[in-house]
Structure formats: structure tokens, C-alpha cells
């Protein structure tokens, strides 16, 4: 789960990590009031969307040459005018895709005088099974481009969970970023604070780009992108509350509401399967017969009729889906429950593409009977191989 920059900064602040002072605003008037409350001689008005590259982004509704999603201005009146220009409009950045994202929230910050822009991120490194730091002196730009052009400018190291964070890790960060003296000491404290925030809040990603050295020699996190491990959210109700559903895809929201494991893919065959292993096998066999799966979807062991209906709606909401394969092994799950769910879903959302259903296991005969007697155009299949062939053939026939 991702959160907005201003929310991420509030969390970092709680762990003693230096961030600029700021106030979130939903209207131009509130943005102006925020600037007055902050005081000072420069303000930054920042679009809050779950995507980076805002500074270099473009508002679709504004003329060519208009400013992007991060604007440095001088007065509260300018804050208001810029807020009015940004709110409600669509910001297109390298990370939003061509459709862009509507800006509904702003963050008004006191402006920082920047001396140097650096890069720091943290992630869970699967190769070492540890939390890793990635740092570079090349901040403020696209880090993938830096990694590609000058890989030697990216430094990575991980923290042994048995020792936890130690001053030596902070010294590594300081050294890689060329910070010494008091700035080096700030880097050590920052590294420790970030690590505590990351581990205590069960983050999966924390990216500070840029981490800046200000003209008055302070180390400040000027941007913050944070993602959380969804499987640990149950123990962080404060974090779960920060969720902004308007930033998420309908399919993902529904999937998490019904506790379904759903991952969208590029293919054309929608899959509904119980069990991750069977779901993987189903995707493989679809490929074997010459098509690509449109998604991974594991409805889990004890799916209810409601869950199956939700899963079906998610699959049919994907415009790339040309055919659907339901493959259920009734172990804990009963085939008649699945059949009822599928039929209920088809009745609710309609069926515009071929549907193949393969059921096996507990109550399989009742399940098949429910489907047969539904009068709906469902193609029954006997085993996985048969099911994959049938859906691929049906999709090809439809296209012909």
C-alpha cells in the first residue's frame, strides 16, 4: 500500500527524521492559509499523487509551457493562485502513464535553499533477505537512468537484522554521499531514524529523492515515497487509515476488500483459480496453448459466493480479457459453492466473452449440475489440459 508524500513525511518526522515544515491543503483558500501559517519568504506547492516525477510533469488541461506539479513561489497569494491552477487538473508524469492522475490534494511546504541534491532509498532485498540502503550523490533525477549510465555512482549495502542499525551503517551512508564533519553526524542520525521508521512501520520501500544539503548545512528529506507491506497492515491501523482509494485501481481495491490475491498481467485470458500453485500452473498451461494470462487471481481456500462474485467482476472489468478460465479444485472449497458464485456473477455482470469452467473435487457433481441447469453459455471442461485448450480455441473462434 502506498501513501502520499505529506503522510510519509509526518511518519518520518515522528522518528526524528528531518523534513521541511508543511501543511496539506484541499482548496486554494486552505493552501493560502497554510502558507500564512508557515510564514517565511518562499513556499513550495506540491501536487499529492501516488506517482513521482511531478516536478517535470505536465498538467493536461494547462497550456504547453505551464509549470509542473512542484512549484516554488514567494507569497501566500501566489500559493493560492498556483493551487487553483493545480487542483482538479490532471498531472501526467513519467510514472503516471499517459492517462495521468487527478490532483485532489496539495502539500504546502516552507521553501528550502538547496546546496546539493542526493539520493537515498531503502528496500527489502530478497537476495540477502535484509533491509538494504541504496545511496547516490546523483539526487533529484531518475535513479534508473543514473544506474544505467553511471552504475559506479550507486552504493548499496544491507543491515544484518541480528545487530540492527549501527553507527557504522550511518558512516557508510555519509561516506558514499561525501558528507563529513557535522553533516556526517547528521547522516548517521538520519540513517538510524530511517531504519527505525522502516522496520517499525513494516515498510517495503522508502525513497528519498532528493535528500538535500541546505545552504545552511542541514540534511533534509525533501521528497518521500513510502510503500508498506500489505500483509503487515493489520498491526498498523494508523497506517491503514492513510489509504487513499482514489489513487488506486478499481480492481485492486475490490481484490483487497475481498481478500483476493490479484495481479494484473498483459494477456487476454482471465483466470480464476484457488491456490497459488494451481494458479501458476493454470497460467503456464494457457501459455503452452499459445495465449497469455490476463491476470493472476487466487480466490483462496475458503472462498464464499460473495468472494467468487467479486473475483469474477474484477476479471471482467479488464478490457483486455477475451476469455475466462475458471479452474477450481474443491478441497476445503466446495464445487457447488463455486458454481453458484460463478452463476450469480454472470447474471449480475453479464457474459460478453467465452467462459470455460473446470471443477474437480468435493461436490463436483452438484457443481456441474448447477452450471448445466443455469442455461448460461458456460463451456464445461474435465481437466486442466482440456480447459486450457477449450478456452484458447473459444477465444480464437470468437476472433475469427
Angle 264-266-267 from CA coordinates, rounded to 5°: 105
Binding-site ranges for ligand GDP (CB under 6 A) = 44, 52-55, 70, 72, 109, 111-112, 114, 117, 140, 209-210, 222-223
- Residues lying near Mn ion in the complex (CB under 5 A) are found at 209, 223
Q: What is the DSSP string of 24-38?
A: EESSHHHHHHHHHHH
Q: Does 207 participate in catalysis according to the annotation?
A: yes
Structural contact between residues 29 and 249, judged by C-beta atoms closer than 8 angstroms: no
Report in angstroms how near the CB of residue 139 gets to ligand GDP at its nearest.
7
Q: How many CB atoms lie within 10 A of CB 147?
A: 14
The strand pair at 114-125 and 130-136 is best described as antiparallel
- The verdict on whether residue 320 carries a ligand-binding annotation is no
Catalytic site residue from 119, 195, 258, 262: 119
Neighbours of 253 (CB within 10 A): 15
Taking the least distance from each CB to ligand GDP, the nearer of 110 and 202 is: 110
Radius of gyration (C-alpha) of the chain in whole angstroms: 25
Check whether 144 is labelled as a binding-site residue.
no
Least distance between Mn ion and beta carbon 131 (Å): 21
State yes or no: 240 annotated in a binding site.
Answer: no
E strand or H helix that includes residue 220: strand 219-221
| Cα–Cα nearest to 20, from 262, 245, 222, 312 | 222
Would the annotation count 295 as a binding residue?
no
Lookup: cell for 174: 555519509
Distances (CA, A) of 157 to 13, 202, 294, 339: 24, 19, 36, 51
Q: Least CB distance from residue 132 to Mn ion, whole Å? A: 20
- The nearer residue to Mn ion, 177 or 392, going by C-beta atoms, is 177
User: Is position 117 annotated in a ligand binding site?
Assistant: yes
Angle at 44 between CA 85 and CA 21, to 5 degrees: 135
Phi-psi region of 330 (alpha: psi -120 to 50; beta: other; left: phi over 0): beta
Residue among 140 and 300 whose Cβ is closer to ligand GDP: 140
Q: Shortest approach of ligand GDP to residue 354 CB, angstroms?
A: 43
Neighbours of 269 (CB within 10 A): 30
Catalytic residue among 32, 85, 207, 247: 207
- Shortest distance, position 212 Cβ to Mn ion, whole Å: 11
Cβ distance to ligand GDP smaller for residue 20 or 282: 20
Q: Looking at beta carbons only, is 215 or 235 nearer to ligand GDP?
A: 215
**Residue 105 touches which of ligand GDP, Mn ion, none (CB < 5 to 8 A by kind)?**
none
The closest residue (CB) to Mn ion is 223
Instruction: Tell the smallest beta-carbon distance from residue 238 to ligand GDP (Å).
Output: 24
14 belongs to an annotated ligand binding site = no
Residue 342, Ramachandran bin (φ over 0: left; ψ between -120 and 50: alpha; else beta)? alpha
Round to whole Å and give the CA distance between 184 and 19: 17
46 marked ligand binding residue: yes
Identity of the residue, 208 or 359, whose beta carbon is nearer to ligand GDP in the bound complex: 208
Instruction: Choose from ligand GDP, Mn ion, none: what does 112 bind? Cβ within 5-8 Å by kind.
Output: ligand GDP
**Known binding-site residue numbers:** 46, 53-55, 109, 112, 117, 209, 223, 274, 331-333
Residues with a known catalytic role: 119, 207
**Known binding-site residue numbers for substrate:** 274, 331-333
**Known binding-site residue numbers for ATP:** 46, 53-55, 109, 112, 117
Amino acid at each position: 500500500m502506498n501513501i502520499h508524500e505529506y503522510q510519509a513525511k509526518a511518519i518520518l518526522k515522528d522518528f526524528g527524521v528531518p523534513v521541511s515544515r508543511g501543511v496539506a491543503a484541499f482548496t486554494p483558500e486552505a493552501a493560502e492559509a497554510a502558507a500564512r501559517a508557515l510564514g517565511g519568504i518562499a513556499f513550495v506547492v506540491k501536487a499529492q499523487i501516488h506517482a513521482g516525477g511531478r516536478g517535470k510533469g505536465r498538467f493536461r488541461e494547462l497550456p504547453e509551457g505551464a509549470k509542473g506539479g512542484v512549484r516554488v513561489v514567494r507569497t501566500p497569494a501566489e500559493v493560492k493562485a498556483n493551487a487553483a491552477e493545480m487542483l482538479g487538473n490532471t498531472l501526467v508524469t513519467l510514472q503516471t502513464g499517459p492517462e495521468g492522475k487527478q490532483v485532489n490534494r496539495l502539500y504546502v511546504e516552507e521553501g528550502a535553499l538547496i546546496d546539493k541534491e542526493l539520493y537515498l532509498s531503502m528496500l527489502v532485498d530478497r537476495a540477502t533477505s535484509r533491509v538494504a540502503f541504496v545511496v547516490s550523490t546523483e539526487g533529484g533525477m531518475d535513479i534508473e537512468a543514473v544506474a544505467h549510465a553511471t552504475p559506479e555512482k550507486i552504493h548499496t549495502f544491507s543491515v544484518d537484522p541480528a545487530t540492527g542499525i549501527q553507527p557504522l551503517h550511518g558512516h557508510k551512508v555519509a561516506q558514499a554521499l561525501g558528507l563529513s564533519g557535522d553533516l556526517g553526524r547528521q547522516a548517521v542520525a538520519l540513517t538510524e531514524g530511517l531504519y527505525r521508521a522502516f522496520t517499525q512501520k513494516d515498510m517495503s520501500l522508502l525513497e528519498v529523492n532528493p535528500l538535500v544539503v541546505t545552504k545552511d548545512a542541514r540534511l533534509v528529506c525533501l521528497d518521500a515515497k513510502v510503500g508498506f507491506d500489505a500483509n503487515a497492515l493489520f498491526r498498523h491501523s494508523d497506517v491503514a487509515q492513510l489509504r487513499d482509494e482514489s489513487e488506486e485501481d478499481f480492481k485492486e481495491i475490490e481484490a483487497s476488500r475481498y481478500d483476493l490475491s490479484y495481479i494484473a498481467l498483459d494477456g487476454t485470458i482471465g483466470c480464476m483459480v484457488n491456490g497459488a500453485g494451481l494458479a501458476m500452473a493454470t497460467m503456464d498451461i494457457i501459455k503452452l496453448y499459445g495465449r497469455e494470462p490476463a491476470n493472476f487471481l487466487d480466490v483462496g481456500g475458503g472462498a464464499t459466493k460473495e468472494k467468487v462474485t467479486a473475483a469474477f467482476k474484477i476479471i471482467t472489468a479488464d478490457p483486455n480479457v477475451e476469455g475466462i478460465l475458471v479452474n477450481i479444485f474443491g478441497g476445503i472449497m466446495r464445487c457447488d459453492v463455486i458454481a453458484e458464485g460463478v452463476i450469480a456473477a454472470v447474471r449480475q455482470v453479464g457474459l460478453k466473452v467465452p467462459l470455460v469452467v473446470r471443477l474437480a473435487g468435493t461436490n463436483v457433481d452438484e457443481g456441474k449440475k448447477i452450471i448445466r441447469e443455469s442455461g448460461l453459455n458456460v463451456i464445461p471442461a474435465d481437466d486442466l489440459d482440456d480447459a486450457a485448450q477449450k478456452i484458447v480455441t473459444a477465444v480464437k473462434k470468437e476472433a475469427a
